[in-house]
């Protein structure tokens, strides 16, 4: 590079500008942000794109009352500008950056419905007391999904504008209708190849009816297995009732066989927290660690369908769940602090929203809500539902979220029909009362099906909502942990990167 000599006449003055140029005290512009107090005496500020700052209590008030001084509060002032909380100009210089970040956060909407759930049978050989659907005994073939309906479901799935769809088989116990699964997988694979669409397959199963031939088929078509494991044997068998009381042993031997043939990453497990489970957070987490899983999803019982019929075993206050969740999370963090990798999945979903600019494709925590936009359910009898919970409601004769039938409904009727349209307004937490000014709005979601089921209308009432109480409790707790120890923040970052 050639440097030209600068003559005295050309040299620009480097004198400081007049003091008034730097005097922005109270002279800044507020950008949209929300805030909430934490229990540790601090408060968290969150802007429209999910960036956050944890600051001393009273800071939000000072910012809003224009009491910040760029000199005295220079570090905070710089952070607020750099993170788009305030601006020195009426229109922030980096407005385009904010817009791009916002589009990225919402980019889960770009491709529309990904998850297509096929309830392949309602038959089941378990009688779990928290089962959300009605199950029927093993021998009733009339409760399997017919091939005409499988074909129609696949046809609709191929019409999704999403280049990568997931076909998930649920039950009842899905493996009891393995012939139908084989037919569906082969047919969907052939159809997706014709149009160049990527497809992933998942079977949700308790693994009790598992056979070697099934796993060979799963290997050939790269099918992922999602199973249920509620904790140690005594707890699992109490929750997941089966005639010979051998549900746990069958699940464990099934997990081993899946790992042997499909590989460790091809099988995952989910817990369901019954009232009994609440007393055993450490035992449940310990079971997953001992079995070599690298994560656990601590989730409460969904208050839908038949699950809520058994109040004694399944109904508990959200406070009790939060206490259970925090104890489990504490143990998981301690395990990580001791040099091991083990993740809690619900926290990881929320942390990815907090700590990264990317969206998360988790249907239960989205705005607009995941129903229809990200998930659709084709039931064994041909009826179509807006989400898995919606079909559970239908089992209780509540058809609010039924979108039509595979025999008669076209793609546009289902996905852009009047019913789908009528759910849209209550699907966006940015405009829901309570959520619209909540600091955690960007990290949370909306759940009109849950609102309808528990509160009698799609909009819901946040102060008494179990969805809100759970998410508010968990998100605040995560912020308090982030603020408490830098090592925990490192662990959290590690969770979302792996």
Minimum CB separation of residue 120 from ligand SF4 in Å reads 33
> Does 414 sit near ligand SF4 (CB under 6 A)?
no
Minimum CB separation of residue 422 from ligand SF4 in Å reads 21
Tokens matching residue 337: 């602090």
Q: Dihedral through CA 488, CA 489, CA 495, CA 497, nearest 10? A: -150
**DSSP string across 424-446:** HGGG-GGGSTTTTT-TTGGG---
Minimum CB separation of residue 462 from ligand SF4 in Å reads 5
CB-wise, 248 or 467, nearer to ligand SF4?
467
Minimum CB separation of residue 433 from ligand SF4 in Å reads 9
**Strand runs labelled E in 161-290:** 164-170, 198-205, 223-228, 267-270
Note whether 317 and 263 are within 8 A (CB). no
Mark the segment that binds ligand SF4 (CB under 6 A) among 257-265, 269-277, 432-440, 488-496.
432-440
> Does 238 sit near ligand SF4 (CB under 6 A)?
no
Note whether 403 and 409 are within 8 A (CB). yes
End-to-end CA distance of the chain: 44
Mark the segment that binds ligand SF4 (CB under 6 A) among 219-227, 311-319, 394-402, 438-446.
438-446
Please list the residues that pair with 55 across neighbouring strands: 43
How big is the site for ligand SF4, counted in residues (CB under 6 A)?
12
Tokens matching residue 441: 């709005």
Q: What angle, rounded to 10 degrees, do the helices at 318-337 and 281-290 form?
A: 40
Minimum CB separation of residue 457 from ligand SF4 in Å reads 15
Quick one: which of 70, 92, 361, 434 contacts ligand SF4 (CB under 6 A)? 434
DSSP H or E segment with residue 233: helix 233-239
Interface of this chain with ligand SF4, residues 252 to 291, rule: CB under 6 A: none
Quick one: which of 318, 429, 451, 453 contacts ligand SF4 (CB under 6 A)? 429
Tokens matching residue 298: 């601590």
> Does 350 sit near ligand SF4 (CB under 6 A)?
no
Interface of this chain with ligand SF4, residues 445 to 484, rule: CB under 6 A: 462, 467-468, 471-472
> Does 180 sit near ligand SF4 (CB under 6 A)?
no
DSSP 144: B
Does residue 292 sit in helix, strand or coil? coil
Minimum CB separation of residue 10 from ligand SF4 in Å reads 57
Quick one: which of 288, 325, 385, 440 contacts ligand SF4 (CB under 6 A)? 440
Binding site for ligand SF4 (CB under 6 A): 429, 434-435, 438, 440-441, 444, 462, 467-468, 471-472
């Amino acid at each position: 590079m050639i440097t030209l000599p600068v003559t005295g006449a050309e040299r620009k003055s480097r004198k400081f500008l007049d003091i008034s140029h730097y005097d922005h005290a109270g002279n800044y512009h507020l950008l949209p942000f929300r805030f909430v107090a934490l229990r540790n005496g601090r408060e968290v500020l969150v802007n429209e794109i999910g960036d956050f700052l944890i600051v001393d209590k009273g800071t939000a008030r000072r910012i809003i009352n224009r009491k910040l001084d760029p000199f005295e509060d220079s570090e905070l002032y710089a952070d607020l500008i750099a993170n788009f909380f305030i601006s020195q100009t009426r229109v922030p210089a980096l407005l385009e950056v904010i817009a791009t970040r916002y589009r990225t956060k919402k980019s889960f909407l770009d491709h529309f419905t990904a998850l297509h759930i096929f309830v392949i049978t309602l038959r089941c050989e378990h009688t779990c007391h928290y089962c959300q659907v009605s199950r029927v005994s093993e021998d009733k073939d009339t409760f399997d999904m017919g091939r005409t309906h499988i074909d129609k479901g696949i046809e609709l799935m191929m019409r999704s504008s999403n280049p990568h769809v997931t076909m998930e088989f649920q039950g009842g116990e899905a493996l009891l209708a393995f012939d139908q699964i084989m037919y569906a997988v082969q047919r969907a694979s052939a159809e997706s190849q014709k149009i160049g669409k990527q497809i992933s397959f998942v079977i949700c199963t308790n693994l009790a009816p598992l056979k070697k031939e099934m796993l060979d088929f799963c290997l050939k078509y790269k099918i992922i297995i999602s199973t249920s494991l509620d904790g140690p044997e005594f707890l699992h068998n109490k929750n997941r009732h089966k005639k010979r009381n051998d549900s746990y042993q069958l699940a464990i031997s099934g997990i081993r066989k899946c790992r042997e043939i499909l590989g460790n990453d091809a099988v995952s497990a989910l817990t369901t927290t019954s009232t009994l489970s609440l007393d055993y957070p450490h035992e449940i987490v310990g079971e997953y660690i001992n079995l070599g899983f690298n994560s656990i999803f601590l989730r409460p019982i969904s208050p839908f369908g038949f699950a809520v019929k058994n109040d004694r075993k399944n109904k508990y206050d959200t406070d009790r769940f939060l206490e259970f969740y925090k104890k489990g999370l504490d143990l998981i963090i301690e395990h990580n602090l001791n040099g091991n990798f083990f993740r809690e999945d619900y926290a990881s979903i929320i942390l990815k929203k907090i700590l990264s600019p990317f969206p998360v494709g988790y249907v239960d925590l989205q705005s607009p809500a995941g129903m229809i936009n990200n998930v659709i359910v084709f039931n064994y009898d041909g009826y179509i539902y807006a989400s898995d919970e919606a079909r559970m409601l239908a089992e209780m004769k509540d058809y609010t979220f039924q979108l039509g039938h595979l025999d008669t409904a076209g793609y546009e009727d289902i996905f852009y029909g009047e019913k789908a349209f009528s759910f849209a307004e209550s699907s966006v937490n940015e405009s829901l009362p309570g959520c619209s000014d909540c600091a955690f709005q960007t990290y949370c979601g909306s759940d009109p099906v849950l609102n309808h089921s528990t509160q009698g209308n799609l909009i819901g009432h946040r102060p008494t909502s179990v969805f809100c109480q759970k998410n508010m409790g968990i998100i605040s707790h995560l912020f308090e942990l982030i603020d408490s120890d830098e090592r925990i923040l490192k662990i959290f970052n590690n969770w979302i990167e792996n």
